[in-house]
Homo-oligomer: A and B are copies of this chain.
Amino acid sequence: MVRLINKADYVQSLEKGLKVLKAFGSDKKVMTLSEVAEVTKMSRAAARRFLLTYTDLGYMHSDGKYFELTSRVLDLGYTYLSSLDITEIAKPYMLKLSNLVNESSSIATLDKNEVVYLMRQQVSRIMTINLGIGTRLPAHVTSMGRTIMAMNDFKEELLDVFEYEQYTINTISNKIELKKELQKIRQQGWALVDQELEAGVRSISAPIFSKDGSVKYAMNIGCQANRVSKDRLITEFLPHLKEAAGNISSALKKI
């Protein structure tokens, strides 16, 4: 990674500290000092100082041997969510949309080559699509990722950052076809992804416009392919989705 800042300005212990925090997760719920040192490739002495500092600040809990994160860590992510106008504004529209079509709805933003889920309203099903706030997915195979890319002036270079993996037989897995698809999405103003990331999952998305006309967020309806046809997504769900996204865009312009 190219450092854009002067070496003297760089707080290395902050980077290391964040690395220690991120070492924990779904496969590492509870860790010993040795495990943290190993995962983060730090010395035991260094890892120990970070773990003790986190424990002292209330971000971790320890019985002396094992360390685990506390709910205080959530404050950090919450800081970001509460810094966004979208999360409060979109809530009622998203609930209404999800109720109208009786399918789950989400809002995501783009971070480099990934979409990040910011909000999600689920409906009850035996099979639900397992996505939470903070989940990241490869942007170019999701309807929300494609919508955000297409509705802004996407740069040719952006198309080079993706790994064109063939997730299913439907996946668009080359740059030329993806570019064509993005141009189509830009013209029609919405995106549909039909079982490209996972067999059995369809999703349709519409852009949410910021005050300056750019598109930072997209909103989708996601559903099981065997329950909702492509045609129904477009003729029945899309008008509701567009209306909800339009209402959120208007509300964003007013603040």
Interface residues of A (CB under 8 A from B): 3-5, 9-11, 13-15, 17-18, 21-22, 24-26, 28-29, 48-50, 52-59, 68-85, 87-88, 91-92, 95-96, 98-99, 109, 111-112, 116, 118, 121-125, 128, 130, 132-136
Contacts and interface: CB of A to CB of B under 8 A. Distances in A.
Copies of this chain in the oligomer: 2
Contact of A57 (B15, B25, B135): B15
A249 B128 CA distance: 21
Contacts of A116: 71-72, 74
13 contacts: A9-B48, A18-B76, A25-B79, A74-B118, A75-B77, A76-B76, A77-B134, A82-B132, A82-B134, A87-B132, A88-B130, A92-B124, A95-B122
A74 B134 contact: yes
A187 B130 CA distance: 37
Contacts of A73: 76-77, 79-80
Nearest to A134: B78
Smallest CB-CB A-B distances: 5 pairs: A77-B77, A78-B134, A73-B80, A14-B17, A95-B124
Given A57-B18, A83-B29, A133 B78 contact: yes
A119 to B, nearest CB: 9
A92 B50 CA distance: 36
B134 A56 contact: no
A96 B124 contact: yes
Contact of A5 (B10, B53, B81, B83): B53
Nearest to A98: B124
Given A15-B53, A70-B80, A73-B80, 10 more contacts: A9-B48, A11-B50, A13-B17, A17-B17, A69-B80, A70-B111, A81-B132, A81-B133, A88-B130, A95-B123
